[in-house]
Structure 1
Amino acid sequence: MSSDLLHTPLYSLHIEAEAKMVPFAGYDMPVQYPLGVKKEHLHTREAAGLFDVSHMGQVFLKGANAAKMLEALTPVDIMDLPEGKQKYALFTNEQGGLMDDLMVSNLNDGLFVVVNAACKAQDIAHMQKNLVEGVELEVWDRALLAIQGPKAAEVMARFAPEVADMVFMDSRRITINGADCIIGRAGYTGEDGYEISMPADQAEAITRLLLAESEVEWVGLGARDSLRLESGLCLYGHDIDTTTTPVEASLLWAISKNRRLGGEREGGFPGADIILNQIVTKDVNRKRIGMKGLAKAPVREGAELFNAEGEKIGVVTSGTAGPSVGHPIAMGYVEKAYAALDTDIFAEVRGKRLPMQVAKMPFVTQRYYRG
């Protein structure tokens, strides 16, 4: 099986670092290193964690109508995205469901789009199918690194001083070690940090430079998952998918105001009638919520949720022990009547009903650098 898996440009470095490798989205990826998932998680919160996310899809759209074309596929304002900025976006389908979530950067000469690894073939085909005259789509075969944590900016400034001037959701072309990189000040951990797209043949050299810094440690998929969950961030295919709408998924903040009813460019995206109606009527049967575990045992994805009367009311979509917060946390969907903060609910784990409480997300304070 492993011979059928793809390798990122940094695969040999993971083997050198004695990573435990697992299949993920068609790639052989590091789930953890000798440090271990919990210590990798805490190191990211305290210093700087380095993540290989080269399995993600990287696409470049160029042409005068690139922003207009992409905006027709998402409920997000792309046409007014300022140069040097990036935005979180959603691909929706005709049923109002979520095909994927993605990041879009305006680099002036085009739009740099990063999509999820498991969805990239579908997303690229979706964009190609909807290309308009004068718009070109390039699929980039580049490496992608994320450096996250309170020491990330300090480390990066040693190699590219101009990154210190960037704020959260800035995106720029910057040279590191002679390589033409695209750097965004963002990430998937709730910490300050950067995502760095770089030529595949120069990735190993840049990665070795970063790893040589005392603050930096490799971090695998295991800790990446627990870090993003503590930060209240969705994982596509688990917390959101084609069966969930942005309203059910509590992602209303991701729908631009000028794409809502009465906005300058109201609607005009797949599933708009369904999604806009849900925004107005609040007519959804379930909502995505955060949960604090009141027992010691963590509650994992797939655990069913019950009310005090023993009636099933929902399901857990992500769960972790919560290394930074000191108690189990989870994310999932419940019937709307049980979505209010502090509502007591129960998760079934190995035949036992464990007490939980609906809690505010994120579970940790997000520390994005806003200047």
Structure 2
Amino acid sequence: MTDISARDLPLKDIHLAAGAKFGPFAGWNMPLTYPAGVMKEHLHTREHVGLFDISHMKLFVVSGSGAAAMLAKACPIDAAAMPIRQSKLSFFLNDNAGIMDDLIITRLGDERFMVVANAGNAVADEAHLRAVSANFNVVLEPLDRVFIAIQGPEAAAVLADAGIDTGGLVFMNGFEPRANWFMSRSGYTGEDGFEIGLPEADARALVEKLVTDERAQWIGLAARDSLRLEAGLCLHGNDIDASTNPVNAALLWAIPKELRETGTFIGADALRAAIAAGATEKRVGLKPEGRQPVRGGAPLVDDDGNSVGRVTSGGFGPSATHPVAMGYVRADLAKPGAAKLFAEVRGSRIPVEVAPLPFTQHRYFKG
């Protein structure tokens, strides 16, 4: 169902022509599925190439002599030490070390960075960046771009055949291949792939080429969610939010050890306190018994019915061939086999076991 109060994607007409069914997400009307259906869309991405319109996400250019220092204040990242073309996962933390958003930051030049933020947080993220920037010599430029993800094992070949030079990128690298274009080798599926931000006219020409390749197929938000869940990737607002710190979320790996100990980023003191105290709960993979998916919001209980955690994301994993979920459990229960757990679903208890993440192996191209 279309939400008349939500924003439409610039390429909405193309998605309508492709038979997309739309629904609201993060203030946007997004393609949820196409005629092939979620299962086939998911498997096509794993086997060939999925095309995703992710124009709801927001790109910001941060430039100027103070750009690296400003980002090091706003995020637990050593931006000045990043090589040009490197991309890194980072976070906006609040004073309590809660994750206000997760971001991908790419160094494009000595004094130029690209920040990719989540759609639902774009307005708050811009306000936060402007507030932090006030004390630094930086220019913050929100970009008006179409953003297309090309994901799957044949992504590089499909782009090459469409005449797109990927610049020798490897996983978690990015650059500006031409004026007003941004390209990174990253994504949200666990597969090799690229994300390209570009002006609408250029995007229409690119998409027209890509969809003529039988290896490439439009993929909706529903399959994007099952792909990222199988890959063990967090969705902000579900698996992490402003009340979640990187310790409990099992995301400390994204913060360099030296910064954890001596960094002066926003939330640094609270993060150090959380590290010292240890995790009170931990984000884990969850594998429900049987074939019934367990959805986000389901409580987790032990054999005696005591609350021990919650499911934050869940569904069926077409590639894993069984239900998959993610959630938080009490820290002492976070190892496989530590306890018998159950998800409460509509008055029934479904046995679940703590499972390693990801559910499907990552296949990123690292050179």
> If the TM-score is normalised by the length of the shorter chain, which range does it land in?
over 0.9
Counterpart of 2:137 in structure 1 is 134
| Count of equivalent residues | 363
Deviates more, 1:121-130 or 1:161-170: 161-170
- Quick one: which amino acid aligns to residue 353 of structure 2? Q
Gaps of 5+ in 1: none
The match for 2:106 is 105
Q: Is 2:90–2:104's contact at 8 Å kept on the other side of the alignment?
A: yes
Give the alignment of 1:242-261 within 5 angstroms.
Answer: 242-261=242-261
Match of residue 176 from structure 2 = 173
Quote the residue 1:72 is aligned against.
73
Within 5 Å, give how 1:26-175 maps onto structure 2: 26-108=27-109, 110-131=112-133, 132-160=135-163, 162-163=165-166, 165-175=168-178
Question: How far does residue 161 in structure 1 lie from its aligned partner after superposition?
Answer: 5.7
| Distance in structure 2 (CA, Å) of the matches to 1:124 and 1:160 | 34
Task: Provide the C-alpha distance between the structure 2 equivalents of 1:270 and 1:133, rounded to a whole number of angstroms.
Answer: 15
Superposition deviation, residue 164 in structure 1: 6.6
The answer to whether the 8 Å contact 1:49/1:149 transfers is yes
Q: Give CA-to-partner distance per residue, 1:100-158, whole Å, 9 cap, x none.
A: 00111111151111100000000000000111342000110001000100011111122
**DSSP 3-state at the match of 1:166:** coil
Q: Contact 1:107/1:173 (CA < 8 Å) preserved in 2?
A: yes
- Could you say if the C-alpha distance between residues 312 and 41 of structure 1 is closer, same or farther in structure 2, counting changes exceeding 3 Å? same
Which of 266, 270, 276 is the aligned partner of 2:266? Answer: 270
Q: 1:35 to 1:267 in 2, by over 3 A?
A: same
| 2:345 is the alignment partner of 1:349 | yes
Distance 2:62 2:164 in 1: 28
State the secondary structure of the residue aligned to 1:2: coil
Distance 1:223 1:215 in 2: 17
TM-score by length of 1: 0.95
CA distance in structure 1 between the partners assigned to 2:125 and 2:325 by the alignment: 28
Over 3 Å counting, the alpha-carbon distance change for 1:290 and 1:40 in structure 2 is same
Query: Secondary structure in 1 aligned to 2:284?
Result: strand
Once residues 337 and 43 of structure 2 are traced to their aligned partners in structure 1, the CA distance between those partners, rounded to angstroms, is 27
Q: Is the 8 A contact 2:295 2:311 kept in 1?
A: yes
CA contact (8 A) 1:66 1:135 kept: yes
Mapped to 2, the partners of 1:370 and 1:98 lie a distance apart of: 28
Letter in 2 for 1:289: V
CA distance in 2 between partners of 1:299 and 1:66 (Å): 43
**How far apart in 2 are the matches of 1:183 and 1:129?**
27
1-side partners of 2:167 and 2:159: how far apart? Answer: 8
The residue aligned with 2:358 is 362
* Segment drifting more, 4-13 vs 85-94: 4-13
Question: For 1:298, which of 293, 306, 321 is the aligned residue?
Answer: 293
SS at match of 1:174: coil
**Per-residue deviation, residues 70-126 of structure 1 (Å, max 9, x unmatched):** 110111221211101111110000011010001111111511111000000000000
Separation (CA, whole Å) in 1 of partners of 2:57 and 2:37: 23
Tell me, what secondary structure is at the counterpart of 2:158?
Answer: helix
Rounded to whole Å, the distance in 2 between the matches of 1:355 and 1:2 is: 37
- The letter for the 2-side match of 1:327 is H
1:227 aligns with 2:227: yes
Residue identity in the other structure for 1:214 = E
Letter matched to residue 67 of structure 2: A
- Alpha-carbon offset, residue 258 of structure 1: 2.3
Match of 1:331 in 2: 326
Q: 2:68, 2:266 → 1: CA distance?
A: 16
CA distance in 1, matches of 2:5, 2:348: 40
For residues 18-76 of structure 1, what are the alpha-carbon distances to aligned partners after superposition, in whole Å with 9 as ceiling and x for unaligned? 10001111111100100101110010000000000001011101101101101101112
Letter in 1 for 2:312: T
Name the SS of the counterpart of 1:22 in structure 2: strand
What residue in structure 1 maps to residue 275 of structure 2?
A: 279
User: Aligned AA for 2:11?
Assistant: L
Q: Which stretches of structure 1, 4 residues or longer, exceed 4 Å deviation after superposition?
A: none
After superposition, the Cα gap between the structure-2 partners of 1:281 and 1:160, relative to the gap in structure 1 and judged at 3 Å, is farther
Is the aligned partner of 1:317 residue 2:318? no
Find the aligned partners of 1:113 and 1:133 in 2 and give their Cα distance: 17
- By how many angstroms is 1:256 displaced? 1.5
Question: If the length of structure 2 is used for normalisation, what is the TM-score?
Answer: 0.96
Aligned-partner Cα distance in 2 for 1:365–1:76 = 27
What is the CA–CA distance in structure 2 between the aligned matches of 1:162 and 1:15, rounded to whole Å? Answer: 29
Report SS of the residue matched to 1:302: coil
SS in 2 for 1:341: coil
SS at 2:83 equivalent: coil
Gaps of 5+ in 2: none
Q: Judging changes above 3 Å, is the alpha-carbon distance between structure 1 residues 257 and 162 closer, same or farther for their aligned structure 2 residues?
A: farther
Secondary structure of the structure 1 residue equivalent to 2:172: coil
8 Å contact kept, 1:9–1:201: no
Q: CA deviation at 1:166?
A: 1.5
Classify the secondary structure of the residue corresponding to 1:144: strand
